[in-house]
Amino acid sequence: MKVYLDNAATTRVAQEVVEAIEPFNSQKYGNASSLHSFGQDAKEALENARKLLAKRINAEPDEIVFTSGGSEANNLAIRGMAQINGFGHIITSKIEHPAVLQTCKDLEKQGFEVTYVGVDAQGRVDLKSLESSIKDHTFLVSIMHVNNEVGVIQNIAEIGKVCSDRKVVFHTDAVQSFTKIPIDVKNMNIGLASFSAHKLHGQKGIGMLYVRKGIKLKNQITGGEQEFKIRAGTENVAGVVGFAKASEILTQEDITRMSNLKKHLRQELLNISDTKINGPDDGLCNILNVSFRYIEGESILLRLDAEGVAVSTGSACSSANLAPSHVLIAMGLEHEAAHGSIRFSLSKYTTKEEINYTVKCARTVVIELRKISPLTPRGDKNV
Amino acid sequence: MYSKEILDRFKNPKNVGEIKSPDAYGKVGNIACGDIMELFIKIDAGKITDIKFKTFGCAAAIASTDVLCDVVKGKTVDEALKVSKKDILAVMGDVPPVKVHCSVLATEALQEALKKYQSKQSTGSK
Ligand SMILES: Cc1ncc(COP(=O)(O)O)c(C=O)c1O
Ligand code: FES
């Protein structure tokens, strides 16, 4: 059996999306900037998709800038704001995606001031410390909606309100949450928001940045005048059409089913001794992060892979710089627990049989690896 | 990312376990990522007759400890002390650069175990 439980990394492209995209590769392949009918057909599709996606987040179509994905959207938001301001202070959190964290680190080198607010043991950003970090020259707060490793959901409506009261622009990385949790940029006082299609059964390499009217950004890719002169480059019409289609496929039933399957998986995995959940119980419907004590995550991942089950890990051994997950460390996990952490992430296509098979494999793999580990206490019942 | 040799070893290591009252014992930890290796060695008439290991770490760490056990089994203590990091890497095949540090760790555990064994021997306190 093959089980894909790495949907927070990327997802299968939905058949509906494949079909929606096809004509824009084979027939309506014009450049959306061209005046002939090929171009105008592409332009029409592009603008319809823009309208639909704008509506999904309660924005206006001319507030949507298409990008090559979530990373570019985050870069455009943060660098674009910083370069317009020239100097000043940014607030973000310690658990952001590298596309935000590394961008902020880079800006620090260029002379900007950055505060990285901490999180509690569940990964929640402390609103009080966020608010007290705001200074006169703070121009941007960037806090992700849902964390990609542990699924913790931040209260972005509250953060948006604080930012609005203090007249600071609020950016949120909504790459993981989009279509799983409703987002309303107007009511939540969001100034900038990043999205990516490949987390919701769209294609890789297409995303968008919501830019509230009135917010000025320095373009990061210069060239033609596409995307309101904020992002040059021939529009990826097929990608955008697929993105719009993808934003429609998740139903409320899908979300409920994923939540129930996640709960089931959580319960079953907790039956394995010395196992602990990282992150809150009320996290995103499809992300479950678990630490298996005494064993190492890359080993678990590869053994599960040999059984056909695909997951990911926050273990130091699996990262290029041999550092454990910055998210788990910020939540106060010990290195050993971060070492044995595994992320299971479900999709609307995940079945109960797949979850049961995964639990069975996980139990065997954990027991086998614990037999190899010198850390396993002698006489451990599970060994 | 890993060679077939490493993956096969990792999935089916042959030398996992402990030896009760071993003649030599070594344990090393790696500060880089936090892996830990233990070696249990049985020595008879100057020869390694049995060797078992336990490892907490990645696939390369587990596979390389298993390789080391195979490589030194049957060797005399002096021969085993000459087994180098290169010898282990040669059996492992293509090791990703980031995984070299833990693939050679087992040789350190072996050196520690055998040197302690030799000094006990020379003081006659076995
Ligand atoms: C929270 C978060 N932000 C940003 C990204 C980057 O998006 P993309 O892969 O489209 O560049 C990802 C996923 O990789 C993510 O999980
Ligand atoms: S044991 Fe950590 S990288 Fe090999």
Cβ atoms of A333 and A278 closer than 8 Å: yes
- Does B34 lie at the interface with A, CB-CB under 8 angstroms? yes
How far is residue A359 from each of residues A285, A344, B30, B58, measured CA to CA in Å?
A: 18, 11, 31, 21
Average pLDDT over residues A297-316: 96
Residue of B nearest to A335 (CA): B34
Residue of A71, A145, A146, A312 with the most ligand 1 atoms within 8 Å of its CB, for mutation: A71
Is the pLDDT score of B70 beyond 70? yes
Interface contact A317-B102, CB threshold 8 A: yes
pLDDT for the residue B74: 96
Q: What is the dihedral of CA A316, B31, B80, B54, to 10 degrees?
A: -60
DSSP A146: B
- Average pLDDT over every residue of A313-319: 92
d(CA B87, CA B65): 12
- What mean pLDDT do residues B52-77 have? 96
Q: How confident is the model at residue A336 (pLDDT cuts 50, 70, 90)?
A: confident
Q: Residue B102: CB within 6 Å of ligand 2? A: yes
Alpha helices in chain A (DSSP H): 15-26, 37-56, 70-85, 98-109, 127-133, 156-165, 237-246, 252-270, 297-306, 326-330, 335-339, 352-372
B-proximal residues of A, 150-179, CB under 8 Å? none
The sheet with strand A138-142 has its strands ordered as A64-67, A207-211, A192-196, A169-173, A138-142, A89-93, A113-117
A278 within 8 A of A341, measured Cβ to Cβ = yes
Look up residue A380 and give its DSSP letter.
-
Which tens digit of pLDDT belongs to each residue from A165-178? 999 999 999 999 99
Answer yes or no: is pLDDT of A48 > 50: yes
* Contact status, residue A145 vs residue A5, Cβ threshold 8 Å: no
What residues of A are in contact with residue B13 (Cβ under 8 Å)? 372
Say if residue A21's pLDDT is above 80: yes
Which of chain B's residues have a Cβ under 8 Å away from the Cβ of A336?
34
CA of A312 to the centre of ligand 1 (A): 15
Quote ipTM for the complex: 0.93
pLDDT digits (tens, 9 = 90+) for A359-379: 999 999 999 999 999 999 987
Contact yes or no for B61 and A317 at CB 8 A: yes
Q: What is the mean pLDDT of chain A?
A: 97
Task: Write down the pLDDT at residue B30.
Answer: 76
Distance CA A107, CA B95 (A): 36
What's residue A109's pLDDT? 98
pLDDT of residue B126: 47
Residues 89 through 108 of chain A touching chain B, CB cutoff 8 Å? none
What are the pLDDT digits (tens) for A61-116?
Answer: 999 999 999 999 999 999 999 999 999 999 999 999 999 999 999 999 999 999 99
Chain B neighbors of A371, CB-CB under 8 A: 16
- Burial (CB < 10 A; 0-12, 13-18, 19+), residue B119, is exposed
Q: Which of A302, A313, A372 is nearest to A343 (CA)?
A: A313
Structure tokens at A267: 């319960």
Residue A82 to residues A59, A138, A217, Cα–Cα distance (Å): 23, 10, 8
* Rg of chain B, C-alpha, whole Å: 14
User: Is there an atom of ligand 1 within 6 Å of A92 CB?
Assistant: no
Query: What pLDDT shows up at residue B121?
Result: 86
A375 contact B CB<8A: yes
Closest CA to B1 of A302, A307, A149: A302
Q: Mean pLDDT across the stretch A3-16?
A: 98
Distances in Å between the alpha carbon of A20 and those of A208, A218, A241, A283? 19, 33, 7, 32
Lowest mean pLDDT among A49-58, A68-77, B3-12: B3-12
Q: Does A4 touch chain B (CB under 8 A)?
A: no
Ligand 1 contact, A191 CB (< 6 A) = no
Average pLDDT over residues B94-103: 90
**Average pLDDT, integer, range B24-31:** 89
A28 reaches B (C-beta below 8 A): no
Cα(A315) to centroid of ligand 2, in Å? 9
The band of A347, judged by pLDDT with boundaries at 50, 70 and 90, is very high
Q: How far apart are CA A225 and CA A68, in angstroms?
A: 16
Residue A279 Ramachandran class (φ > 0 left, ψ -120 to 50 alpha, else beta): left
Q: How confident is the model at residue A381 (pLDDT cuts 50, 70, 90)?
A: low
Across the interface, do A322 and B61 touch by the CB < 8 Å criterion?
A: no
Which protein residue has the closest C-alpha to ligand 2 atom 2? A317
Q: What length is written for chain B?
A: 126
| A365 neighbors A373 (Cβ within 8 angstroms) | no
Give the pLDDT score at A156: 98
Question: How is residue A359 written in tokens?
Answer: 């639990």
With CB atoms and an 8 Å threshold, state whether B58 touches A317: yes
Task: Tell me: pLDDT of A383 over 60.
Answer: no
Position A162 pLDDT exceeds 70? yes
Distance from CA of B49 to the nearest CA of A (A): 21
Q: Residues, chain A, total? A: 383
pLDDT class for B5, splitting at 50, 70, 90?
confident
